[in-house]
Every structure is written in structure tokens, then in C-alpha cells.
């Protein structure tokens, strides 16, 4: 009988110990894996991956099928649940779950301003980061699957960018899957980053309009803050240069179910009276810097546009270039008139690498990635058209982060994929909806709904 309260023996000679521990209703086990940096060179340099195995406490000694969770991002580690939060409780009714920190994230070998200089200069860092896209993540999954399941296929749950990885999985290694579940993450199979952002800015504008319709008092508040930032050089306590453009980027929260309320509560306490006059409050600055800083997830900024690279066209700071096609997002022009300030969304801009102290040392590396022209294809349309893996996807109507039209076109291109199109949730529906979203999608993969 396995002692879940003690360190487990390594499953492979020389592998690190895995440690098990308990939370309410669950048993968790820390797992570590060594994988090649470049899967095309399996004998070359290696990196470490971390994953947390989770099983229901009353099923800890039972054999169960596996579900691997691929987090959104790119650049975020897997959720750190306490007990059976969000969708996890539903999954644990029938699965043993592996919460994978994708390469470079969480507790896996890190890639950030502190560690990337170990690679060398910006050119070496950029070359290194080309191995942190969906294709490498899927090959990691296939390598560790053999160790985790003994070779048996597993179910994958991909949220947002994790869904992009899941579509790559269906293209590259469908034999590793019993089923695939995607939430808010059906990518275009062939769109360039420019196409993605041309579709995104009108959606962002609609989300901002909806926010102001709910909280009309925020129109004047947002204009006042932006006007203050245009007139003053503001540096947040962590060293972040807080510009009007940076303030606009706080609109990224509008893509979540509670995002509009969160933004409203942020704006309502922006200013305070001081002996020197009116200033941005400490409380506002603290919350703003926590939302703006990429210190905890720098890969998001570094490779965000690279996840769309599939041909010889550079991404070339696509969001920045495309934004210029939508002059209504220009804060100075807006404040010269009397219209509402538009926030922005899930877009990465070169100025972020000047403003954010966590990104400043990586500016040249980011420039080299933006100029790169040798991206390999991520999806195989022919193989997806012949797909035999049961697949279901939640497509959130007018999702701020992933274009609905792109998602539905991909859904039609994947044989047998079933969609659940809903406006009940925003992009974070798999979290906000508790067990309901996963339960419905699993039912769709089994022709039970």
C-alpha cells in the first residue's frame, strides 16, 4: 500500500524523489521530468519540467485514467488550486489529473530576466525561446506521458493558449489522446498575427463600450487618470513607468467574467489629496503595478506574438502596428475631444519593454523574436480533417482574447469536433463556471449531450 504522507521513491533510477501531501479532499504529488530543450536533438541540452499530480483523497489508491491540463498564456504555470476548486472537482470524479507547468513557467526551468543571460546575449536568448511554443510543449507532453501513464493515452484539457497546444497535439500526436477538451482556445489554423489583431481591436472596443454602459461614471474617471499620466512622469513603486498607454492596457481584465467590476473598483479610488496637491493614491498604484508587471510571467510578453508565427513573415510587433489602424485608441487624440478613453486588451507592445523593469533587460531579445522569419507550421490541416479523437470546445461568444469567427472556422476544419457556443461566460468560463463547463464538454466528447 502506497504511503501518501511520505516521500515516494523515484519511478526511474536517478530521478528526483516525488513528494506527496494532502489538501482538503485531495492528495497531491510533486512530479519532475527531464526533457530535451530541442526535441529534434534528444541527446542535447535538457531542461526540467514540474507538474503536480492530483487525485481525490478517497481514490488515491485506485487506478484511474489520466487528464493533463494545459494552462492558458503563454507563460503561465498551471493553476495552484486549494482542494477541488473550479473545474478540478469535476475532473477528479473520474480522472487522475496532471497540472503541468509548461516549459519556462511556474516551477519548471525558468526563463526570465534573471536566467536568460545564462544563455548568452540577446541572439542566443532569442534562439533559446524559439523552443517555447506549442509544438515543443506537446512533445514534452508525449515524452512525459510514457512515464506517467505507462504509455496509455490520456485526455487533455486546454484552456486558452492551452487550447492552441491541444490543436497542435491533434495535429502532431493524436495517438496520445483518448479525448480533447478545449475552453476558449480554438486558434486560427493559418492567420498571421496581423489578422488576429485586426479582428481583436473591434472586439476590445465593444468590451470597453459595455463596461462604460454598466459604469458610466468611469468615463470621466478614466479620462482624468489618462490626462494626469500624459501631463506627469509617474513611476510606480516597483519602478514601472506608468504611462497613459500602460493605463489603457489595464483593459486586459475586461476579458474575464468579473473584469468589468474589477476595473471599476480600481478606478474609483485613483486619486487622493496630499499637501502637494492631488496625486494618484498609493492603493491605486499598488493594484495597478500588480496588474501591469510581467515579473511573474515574462514569457507572456516575450513569445506572445510568436505563438502565431507559422511562415516566413515576421510578427514585427503586430499589435503595435495594427493598433495604428484604429486611431480611436490614441489617448492623446481622445483627450483632445470629449469621447471616452478606450482601454486595450491582450496585446503586447514594444513600449512595455521600456516601462516594465522585469522586461527592460530583454528588449533586444524581444526585437529579435519579432523579426524572426523561420517559424515552423504549428497545425496540420490534412491530419485535422481526418481526426478521429473525440474533441469538444467551448467557444465564448465575442471572447475578448480569441476571435469567435476564427474559432468556428477551425472547428469546421477538425473532423468530429463539437462546439458549445455560449455567451453565458467570458474567456475564464472554465474557472468561473465551476464544474459545469468541463462536465458539458466531456459529455459532448462522449455523445452524451
Catalytic residue numbers? 160, 374, 427
For residue 104, what are the CA distances in angstroms to 97, 107, 116, 118?
A: 21, 8, 10, 14
The three cell numbers locating residue 90: 469535476
Q: What is the 3-state secondary structure (H, E, C) of 211-229?
A: HHHHCCHHHHHHHHHHHHH
- The answer to whether the CB of 143 falls within 8 A of the CB of 35 is yes
Q: Of 306, 301, 317, nearest to 353 (Cα)?
A: 301
Q: Of 72, 428, 431, 435, nearest to 256 (Cα)?
A: 428
For residue 129, what are the CA distances in angstroms to 13, 27, 165, 197?
A: 30, 34, 16, 22
- The answer to whether the CB of 406 falls within 8 A of the CB of 167 is no
Which H or E element spans position 32? strand 26-36
The three cell numbers locating residue 108: 519548471
- Backbone φ and ψ for 300, nearest 5 degrees, come out as -55, -45
Amino acid at each position: 500500500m502506497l504511503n501518501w504522507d511520505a516521500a515516494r521513491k523515484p519511478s526511474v533510477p536517478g530521478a528526483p524523489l516525488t513528494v506527496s501531501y494532502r489538501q482538503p479532499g485531495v492528495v497531491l504529488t510533486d512530479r519532475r521530468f527531464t526533457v530535451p530543450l530541442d526535441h529534434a536533438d534528444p541527446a542535447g541540452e535538457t531542461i526540467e519540467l514540474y507538474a503536480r499530480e492530483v487525485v481525490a483523497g478517497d481514490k488515491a489508491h485506485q487506478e484511474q485514467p489520466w487528464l493533463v491540463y494545459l494552462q492558458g498564456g503563454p507563460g503561465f504555470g498551471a493553476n495552484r488550486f486549494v482542494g477541488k476548486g473550479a473545474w478540478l472537482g469535476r475532473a477528479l470524479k473520474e480522472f487522475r489529473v496532471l497540472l503541468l507547468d509548461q516549459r519556462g513557467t511556474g516551477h519548471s526551468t525558468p526563463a526570465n530576466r534573471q536566467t536568460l543571460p545564462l544563455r548568452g546575449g540577446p541572439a542566443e536568448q532569442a534562439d533559446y525561446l524559439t523552443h517555447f511554443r506549442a509544438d515543443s510543449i506537446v512533445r514534452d507532453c508525449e515524452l512525459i506521458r510514457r512515464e506517467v501513464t505507462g504509455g496509455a493515452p490520456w485526455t487533455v484539457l486546454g484552456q486558452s493558449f492551452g487550447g492552441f497546444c491541444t490543436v497542435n497535439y491533434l495535429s502532431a500526436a493524436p495517438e496520445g489522446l483518448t479525448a480533447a477538451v478545449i475552453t476558449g482556445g480554438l486558434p486560427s489554423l493559418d492567420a498571421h498575427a496581423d489578422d488576429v489583431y485586426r479582428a481583436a481591436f473591434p472586439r476590445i472596443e465593444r468590451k470597453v463600450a459595455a463596461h462604460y454602459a454598466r459604469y458610466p461614471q468611469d468615463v470621466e474617471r478614466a479620462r482624468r487618470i489618462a490626462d494626469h499620466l500624459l501631463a506627469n512622469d509617474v513611476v510606480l513603486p516597483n519602478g514601472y513607468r506608468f504611462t497613459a498607454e500602460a493605463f489603457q492596457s489595464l483593459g486586459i481584465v475586461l476579458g474575464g467574467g468579473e473584469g468589468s467590476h474589477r476595473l471599476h473598483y480600481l478606478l474609483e479610488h485613483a486619486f487622493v489629496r496630499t499637501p502637494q496637491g492631488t496625486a494618484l493614491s498609493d492603493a491605486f498604484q499598488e493594484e495597478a503595478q500588480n496588474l501591469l508587471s510581467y515579473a511573474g510571467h515574462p514569457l507572456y510578453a516575450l513569445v506572445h506574438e510568436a505563438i502565431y508565427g507559422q511562415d516566413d513573415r515576421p510578427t514585427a510587433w503586430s499589435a503595435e502596428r495594427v493598433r495604428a489602424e484604429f486611431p480611436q485608441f490614441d489617448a492623446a487624440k481622445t483627450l483632445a475631444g470629449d469621447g471616452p478613453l478606450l482601454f486595450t486588451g491582450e496585446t503586447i507592445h514594444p513600449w512595455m519593454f521600456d516601462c516594465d523593469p522585469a522586461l527592460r533587460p530583454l528588449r533586444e531579445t524581444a526585437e529579435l523574436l519579432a523579426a524572426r522569419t523561420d517559424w515552423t507550421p504549428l497545425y496540420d490541416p490534412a491530419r485535422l480533417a481526418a481526426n478521429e479523437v473525440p474533441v469538444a470546445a467551448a467557444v465564448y461568444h465575442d471572447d475578448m482574447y480569441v476571435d469567435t469567427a476564427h474559432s468556428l472556422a477551425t472547428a469546421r476544419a477538425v473532423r468530429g469536433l463539437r462546439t458549445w457556443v455560449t455567451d453565458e461566460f467570458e474567456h475564464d468560463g472554465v474557472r468561473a463556471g465551476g464544474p459545469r463547463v468541463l462536465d458539458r464538454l466531456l459529455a459532448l466528447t462522449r455523445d452524451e449531450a
